[in-house]
Amino acid sequence: MKTRSFLFIILSMLILSACGQKSLSEPMTLLNQNAEEVTFPSDKPAVFFFITTYT
């Protein structure tokens, strides 16, 4: 059962990654915790993390 679940997850990731775009056509803009816009450039790779807390 564990192997079947793992195989399903891997196949799902493969299918979802094949459906995506190779690159972004425009920069991605998100809001930070202070409601300020933060823009990630599309010309070079960027790594960003979402940290959420629930109280």
Across all residues in the chain, what is the average pLDDT? Answer: 79
Alpha helix stretches (DSSP H) within the chain: 2-19
* Residue 20 resides in a domain: no
* Residue 13 resides in a domain: no
* Residue 10 resides in a domain: no
* Residue 12 resides in a domain: no
- Express each pLDDT in 4-27 by its tens digit: 999 999 999 888 887 766 666 777
Host domain of residue 49? 25-55
pLDDT reading at 55 higher than 70: no
CA dist 11 and 3 (Å) reads 12
* Residue 17 resides in a domain: no
* Residue 44 resides in a domain: yes
What's the average model confidence in pLDDT over 40-44?
74
CA dist 7 and 13 (Å) reads 10
pLDDT reading at 40 higher than 70: yes
Structural domains in the chain (count) = 1
User: Exposed/middle/buried for 14, CB within 10 Å: 0-12, 13-18, 19+?
Assistant: exposed
CA dist 13 and 8 (Å) reads 9
